[in-house]
Structure 1
Amino acid sequence: MSLKKASLLIVLILLIDQISKIYIKTNFMLGEQVEVFSWFRILFVENEGMAWGAKIPGDYGKIILTTFRLFAIVGIGYWLWKSIQDNAPKVLILSVSLIFAGALGNILDSVFYGVIFDHSMSQVASLFAEDNYGHWLKGNVVDMLYFPLYDGILPEWMPIWGGERFVFFEPVFNIADSAISLGFALLILFNKKAFPKED
């Protein structure tokens, strides 16, 4: 896979990711949802931290996280560039391109969204608002894809969780998260092709 093709893929993912996030942010209030199918909803949530909503505590936790992400994206970018220069297998370049695009998509939220949007609590946010909700490096990541494939009460006979409500799949995510997950999945599934042993 050439640098041109990898770059086009990255730009395409970033465009879809950012257009979808800006649309949700400027048309939905926080917590608002639209049911597309019984098993798929558009649900607007914001993620202050990492995957699964995990956060680094403290006043500077978000800045530390965003700074780490910025260093990580440089490393991933170098990995991608080196893989292309070394004529690595296509599946490796494709995977790293997906991971890079997804990571960059979420970094854009973290770096810029706090200063270009106002808040979404009980109102629809405005783009380039004068009264922004955060600061540089402190923006929240916009998530909207929700797939509650099963939402019900677990049978009473089940140990520990019997009788409790259970939702599968509960996390809400975005296009960037999907690209990262797909990239890692390809690396796992096609590990031998991505990292062939030298003779």
Structure 2
Amino acid sequence: MNLKKISLLVLLLVIADQALKIWVKTHMHLEESITVFPDWFQLHFIENKGAAFGMRLSLGDTYDWGKLLLGLFRIALVSVIGWFTAHLYRSRPDTPKGVFVGLALILAGALGNILDSAFYGLLFSESTPYTVAEFGGHYAGFMMGKVVDMFYFPLFQWENVPRLLEFLVDRNNYFFGAVFNLADAYISVAVVYLLVFQFRFFSK
């Protein structure tokens, strides 16, 4: 698997992520849900300040330094993984294709959420529960855009949740309560795959 194929894979994954986010942003109301499969899978439109799986992050009232730091961290992460991928390709010809696919997924996921933060605040007016987002309005500056999340799997209600496990449920006590996007899924799948199936390669 050469670097051109890896780059093409990253590009296609980012396009898929952004296409879905833009469709949700421009066709759904904030907090609106569309049932895909009854009782367990919905498209549920929410926005967050940049953390994965709908988690909220803020370290300031007048300027969101936490969001800026997260954006800079993601940019640094993309740079390091990009360099590492090229390094493996040039210096380790025995690298399995699966490793490159996993790294491409992580790159695409990080890039997808970087694009949200970097440009959505410049391209879209602010979403509200009552209006569909439109192009052209400014509700935030560069790197201050909100990340669009939409995948929601309310599998079952879990009453009397232990405090340590509250992060696994939403405000209605549904498990799994997180709302996430394709970029989050890329990263999660890639990390699990690399740890489970490519551990032997990295251990060398």
- The one-letter amino acid paired with 2:7 is S
CA distance in 2 between counterparts of 1:24 and 1:117 reads: 12
2:153 matched residue in structure 1:
147
Deviation track 1:20-45 (CA, whole Å, cap 9, x = no partner) reads 00000000111011111110000000
Deviates more, 1:136-145 or 1:53-62: 53-62
Identity %: 41
Deviation of 1:172 after TM superposition, in Å, equals 0.5
CA distance in 2 between counterparts of 1:107 and 1:159 reads: 34
Deviates more, 1:98-107 or 1:48-57: 48-57
1:124 matched residue in structure 2:
132
Check whether the contact 1:10–1:101 (CA below 8 A) recurs between aligned residues.
yes
2:16 matched residue in structure 1:
16
Alignment partner for residue 202 of structure 2, among 173, 188, 195?
A: 195
* Residues matched between the structures, number: 190
Classify 1:48/1:40 alpha carbon distance in 2 versus 1 (closer, same or farther; 3 Å): same
Deviation track 1:163-189 (CA, whole Å, cap 9, x = no partner) reads x96311110001111110111011111
CA distance in 1 between counterparts of 2:152 and 2:172 reads: 17
2:29 matched residue in structure 1:
29
TM alignment of 1:103-114, pairs within 5 A? 103-114=110-121
Check whether the contact 2:49–2:58 (CA below 8 A) recurs between aligned residues.
no
Alignment partner for residue 133 of structure 1, among 135, 139, 146?
A: 139
- The one-letter amino acid paired with 2:192 is A
Alignment partner for residue 62 of structure 1, among 52, 57, 67?
A: 67
- The one-letter amino acid paired with 2:120 is Y
Q: Which ranges in structure 2 are unaligned for 5 or more consecutive residues?
A: 166-170
TM-score w.r.t. length of structure 2: 0.85
1:182 matched residue in structure 2:
189
Alignment partner for residue 77 of structure 1, among 82, 87, 107?
A: 82
TM-score w.r.t. length of structure 1: 0.87
Check whether the contact 1:92–1:187 (CA below 8 A) recurs between aligned residues.
yes
CA RMSD of aligned residues (A): 2.1
- The one-letter amino acid paired with 1:33 is S
Classify 1:178/1:69 alpha carbon distance in 2 versus 1 (closer, same or farther; 3 Å): same
Check whether the contact 2:51–2:57 (CA below 8 A) recurs between aligned residues.
yes
- The one-letter amino acid paired with 2:99 is L
CA distance in 2 between counterparts of 1:144 and 1:165 reads: 17
Q: Which ranges in structure 1 are unaligned for 5 or more consecutive residues?
A: none
